[in-house]
Amino acid sequence: MNIRRVLAGSALAVALVVTGALTLDRVFPPDLSRYQARSTEIVDANGRLLRAFTTADGKWRLKATPEDVDPLYLALLKTYEDRRFDDHWGVDPLAVVRAAGQWIARGHIVSGASTISMQAARLLEPRKRSLLTKAIQSARALQLEWRYSKREILAIYLTLTPMGGNLEGVRAASFAYFGKEPRQLTAAQAALLVAIPQSPERRRPDRAGDAARLGRDRVLERGLENGTIDRASFDRAESEAVPHRRLALPMHAPHLAAWLASQSPGTVVPTTLRFDLQASLAQLVRDERRQTPDEADIAVVAVDNRTGGVVAWVSGSDYFGRAGQVDLVRAHRSPGSALKPMIYALAFDDRTLHPESLVDDVPVRFKDWLPRNFDHGHTGGVTVRRALQQSLNVPAVLALERVGPQRFLATLRAAGASPILPRGESGESLGMALGSLAVSPLEMAGLYSGLARGGLFAPPRVRRDTAPLSAVRLLGPAAAWYVADILADAPLPDGFASLPVALRERRIAYKTGTSAGFRDAWAVGFTSNWTIVVWTGHADGTTRPGQLGRLAALPIVLKAFDRLPAEDNRALPAPADVLRVASWQDLPPRMRRLGPIAEMSGGPRIAYPPADARLELRAHEAISLAAFGGDGRLRWLVDGRPIDGTTWIPDGAGEARVAVIDQAGRSSAVTVRIVRHP
C-alpha cells in the first residue's frame, strides 16, 4: 500500500508539473518579436542578396538558417559552445554539474553551462545577468525545445547573435567582415564568427584586431582538440590575417530595392533580376558615364522576353550624388520618336498599311501644325519601311492620323503603360507621334517586349513572389514581325560600321528617340529573347545640345547586348500571314499609299452609339453597333481591340473608345461612358 501511495503521489506530482508547465507555456509563450523584426532583404532570381536595410532599431539583422552557413562553422560552434546541443532538451545537465563544481572548488565562475538554446532564449529576451535570469533562460530554453526543432532554434541564434556594433547574426557579420555569404567560410573565418559573440565589442576585428585574433585562435584550438579540424587546417587558419576593417553590405539595384522595400518591409523580397547581368550592366553604365563630358545620367532596364521578367535595373551610377536617388527607370520622360514603331504596328495590324506602302514625306499641315523632320527637310516619296528606319516625322504623324490618337493611347494603356499627357491635353493630339506624351523606361521596355513576343503585351515583372499578369494580345504576329524586320535593318550609329558576328546573328531590332530640346536621348533594342532600353540625360531635365538618341544611347544598347548571353537567340521565322511583295504597286489598293485623311472621302461614320453618350446597361447586356458610309466590310474595335461582328458586350463600367474602319483604311471613333445597373 505504501508503494502504491508513493507511486500514485509521484504520478500526481508529475501530472501537476506537466500541467503547470503546459499552462505556463500557453500563458507565457516565447516572444519572437526580435527574431521576426529582421532586415528587409531584396534578392535576385537565385536568392543572392542585392541590398538589405537596417531594422527599425538600426540593426543589420539578416535572416539566417543552418542551410545558409558553412557546415564547418556549425561544427566549430557546437564544439566551442554546446557539444551536446543535438542531444539535450535545452539545458545540459552535465554542463550544469561541471560549472557548479568549478564554482564551488574555486569560488568563482570558471565556465558557464549556457547552451545554444539558452543563448537563443537570452537573445529573444535580453535581461541583466543574474541567477534569476539564468533560471528564466533555462525555462525558456526548455520551452523553445518543446515548441521548435533544433534547426529552428539554431536559426534564432544564427540570426540574432551579436557581432559587434549594429551587426547581428552570422550573415550580416560575414558580409561586413568578409564581403560574402557565410556558405563557404575558411576555418579561420568560421572560428572568428564563433568567437565574436563571446564578447562582441571587445572582439570586433575592425576595432580590436588582437583580441579578435586571440578569440579566434581559442576556437581553433578547441576545434583541434576535439577533432573538428585537423592540424593542417589549424596551421593555415592560425596564420590567416584577421580583417581590419568593416565592409559595406551589398547595394545592387539600390533604386529598385528601395521601392520594393517600401512595399514589403521586414521580409525577403525575391526579384527576377539576375545578379551577374545586373552587376555587368551597372559597370557598363559607370564606364559610359565617365566618358560623357557632362556626366549625364544613364538608365538601363533589360527584360527577358520569354518570362517577362526584368533581369537588370540600373537607375544611374551615383546613388548618393545630386538627384542620385531619383529612380530613372520609373521616371516619365518624353520618348521623342521612340514610340513610332507602335503606331506603325497598329496600322499594319489593320491591314491598311504595309512596310512597302508608299508615303510622301512632304510638308503637310494638320490644322495649325506643320510637323518637320529633325533636319527640317523632307525626302519626298519613300516606303513606310524607309520612313520608319529613318524616323521621318511627317509619315509617322500621317500613320497616327490613320490609326487615331485615342486608339493609340488606349493601346499603350492596355499594354500596361501609364503615359502622361501635357496639362490640358485630352489625348487627341497627333503630337504624340513625336513625343508629346511621357513614358518611363520600364514602360518602354514592356511595350517593346510585347513586340518581341509577337504582339502579346504585359507589364514587365520584377517580383517572383507575385503572379505575372496575363499577357494581352493587342497586335497580330504579322504586324509585330513587320516592325522587327524593319528595325533590324535600321542605320547603325557612328563607330559601328558593322555589328560583331555574335550580335549580327541575333538580328537586333532597334529604335531611337530624342525629345524636344535634347533633354532625353533614348534607344531600345530587342531580339526574340531580350529587350534593352537605355535613357540618358539629366534628372532635372537640363538640355544636352547635339546628344541624339542614335549617338548617345544606341551605342550603349549595342554594348549591353554584347554582355547578355546568346542562349540560342535567333530571329523568329515570319508568320504565315506575312504579305511579301516586290513593290508598293503589288499591294491591295487600300494599302498602297499613306496620305492625309483629309484627302480621303466617303469614310465610315458611326451612327450608334453617338459620341459622348452615357449608356446605362445591365450586366452582360449587349450594344448593337451601327455605321454608315465606307467601302467594303467594316471592322469594329473597342479600346483598340477588334470585336466580332457588330455586337459589343462591355466588360464593365467606365469610358470606352469605339472605332470603325473600312477596307480602305478610313475610320472614325467615338468615346462613350458605360454605367452599370444591378
SS (H, E, C) 41-71: EEECCCCCEEEECCCCCCCEECCCCHHHCCH
Q: Do the domain assignments include residue 262?
A: no
Radius of gyration of the chain (CA): 34
Res 329 pLDDT > 80: yes
Residues 6+ apart with CB under 8 A from 93: none
**Class of residue 552 by CB neighbours under 10 A (exposed 0-12, middle 13-18, buried 19+):** buried
> How far is it, in rounded angstroms, from Cα 125 to Cα 529?
52
Q: What is the CATH number of the domain that holds 386?
A: 3.40.710.10
What mean pLDDT is predicted for residues 617-636? 82
Q: How confident is the model over 346-388, as pLDDT tens digits?
A: 999 999 999 999 998 877 777 767 788 877 777 888 999 999 9
190 shares its domain with 214: yes
Number of domains in the chain: 4
Distance between CA 340 and CA 154 in Å, rounded?
Answer: 58
Domain's final residue, options 586, 611, 645? 586
* CA–CA gap between residue 118 and residue 629 (Å, rounded): 86
Same domain, 71 and 23: no
Q: Is residue 539 in some structural domain?
A: yes
Least trusted range by pLDDT, from 183-187, 476-480, 669-673? 669-673
- The pLDDT of residue 127 is 81
Are 527 and 416 part of one and the same domain? yes
State whether 229 and 373 are in the same domain. no
637-677: pLDDT as tens digits: 998 889 988 888 988 888 888 888 888 888 888 888 888 87
pLDDT at 108 (0 to 100): 45
Mean pLDDT of the chain, nearest integer: 88
pLDDT at 589 over 70: yes
Query: Do 53 and 120 fall into the same domain?
Result: yes
Tell me the percentage of the chain whose pLDDT exceeds 70: 90
Of these residues, 114, 317, 334, 337, which one is catalytic? 337
With respect to residue 226, please indicate whether it lies within any of the assigned structural domains: yes
Task: Give the cell for residue 640.
Answer: 483598340
169 with 201, same domain? yes
- Domain membership flag for residue 665: yes
pLDDT at 109: 47
Q: Write out pLDDT tens, residues 93-149.
A: 765 556 555 555 555 444 556 899 999 999 999 888 777 878 888 888 899 999 999
Q: Are 474 and 640 in contact (CB under 8 A)?
A: yes
% of the chain residues with pLDDT over 90: 64
- Give the range among 4-18, 65-79, 304-318 with minimum mean pLDDT: 4-18
Beta bridge partners of 616: 675
Q: Which of 157, 155, 140 is nearest to 29 (CA)?
A: 140
For residue 36, pLDDT beyond 90: yes
Q: What value does the mean pLDDT take over residues 172-181? A: 98
Q: What is the mean pLDDT of residues 200-206?
A: 96
C-alpha cell at 337: 520618336
Give the pLDDT of residue 672. Answer: 85
Residue with cell 514603331: 341
Catalytic residue among 41, 81, 356, 401: 81
pLDDT at 387: 96
What integer pLDDT is reported at residue 107 of this predicted model? 52
The residue-averaged pLDDT of 496-517 equals 81
Whether 284 has a pLDDT exceeding 80, the answer reads: yes
Query: Known catalytic residue: 181?
Result: no
| pLDDT at residue 25, rounded to an integer | 62
Comparing 43-52, 409-418, 491-500, which segment has the lowest mean pLDDT? 491-500
Domain that holds residue 666: 599-677
Domain match, 432 and 517 both: yes
Dist. CA 228–CA 526, nearest whole Å: 54
With beta carbons less than 8 A apart as the criterion, state whether 219 and 195 touch: yes
CA atoms of 566 and 557, how far apart (whole Å): 15
337 among known catalytic residues: yes
Residue 294 lies in a domain: no
Of 195, 215, 239, which marks where a domain is finished? Answer: 239
The pLDDT of residue 366 is: 77
CATH of the domain at 102: 1.10.3810.10
* pLDDT at res. 662: 86
Cα 660 to Cα 401, 476, 596, 669: the distances in Å are 14, 18, 18, 6
- Report yes or no: 484 and 508 within 8 Å, Cβ to Cβ: no
pLDDT, position 287? 95
Say which CATH number the domain at 670 has: 2.60.40.10
State whether 190 and 139 are in the same domain.
Answer: yes
Residues 73, 74, 76, 77, CA torsion sign: positive
4 pLDDT above the threshold of 70: no
269 belongs to a structural domain: no
- How many Å apart are CA 172 and CA 194, to the nearest integer? 13
Contacts of 663 (CB under 8 A, 6+ apart): 590, 630, 631, 632, 633
Q: Cα separation of 354 and 360, whole Å?
A: 15
Instruction: Indicate the pTM of the whole model.
Output: 0.81
CA distance 576 to 548: 37
Closest by alpha carbon to 455, among 533, 588, 348? 348
3-state helix, strand, coil in the chain (%, to 5): 40, 15, 45
Rounded Cα distance between 80 and 399, Å, is 76
What pLDDT, on a 0 to 100 scale, did the predictor assign at position 639? 87
User: What is the reported pLDDT for 613?
Assistant: 76
- pLDDT tier at 608 (50, 70, 90 boundaries)? confident
Same domain, 164 and 97: yes
**Cα(627)–Cα(630) distance, integer angstroms:** 9
Q: Nearest 5°: CA angle at 391, between 387 and 394? A: 70
Domain match, 23 and 42 both:
no
User: Last residue of some domain: 586, 617, 644?
Assistant: 586
Q: Exposed, middle or buried, 565 (CB in 10 Å: 0-12/13-18/19+)?
A: exposed
Enumerate the H helices of 434-580 as residue ranges.
441-452, 477-487, 501-504, 549-552, 554-561
Chain centroid to Cα 120, Å, comes to 35
Q: What is the pLDDT of residue 22?
A: 52
| Residue 167 within any structural domain of the chain | yes
What are the phi and psi torsion angles at 475 (to 5°)? -140, 150
DSSP 242-308: PP-SPPPPPBSSHHHHHHHHHHSTTSEEEBS--HHHHHHHHHHHHHHHHHSTT--EEEEEEEETTTT
Burial code (b: 16+ CB inside 10 Å, e: under 16) for 322-360 equals: eebebbbbbbbbbbbbbbbbbbbbbbbbbbbbbbbbbbb
- Both 229 and 352 in one domain: the answer is no
Do 484 and 560 belong together in one domain? Answer: yes
Summarize the confidence of residues 395-416 as an average pLDDT: 94
Please state which of the ranges 88-97, 292-301, 626-635 shows the lowest mean pLDDT.
Answer: 88-97
Express each pLDDT in 222-272 by its tens digit: 999 999 999 999 999 999 999 999 999 999 999 999 999 999 999 999 999
Residue 568, pLDDT > 70, answer no
C-alpha cell at 46: 537565385
Residue 412: closest CA among 574, 640, 161, 661: 640
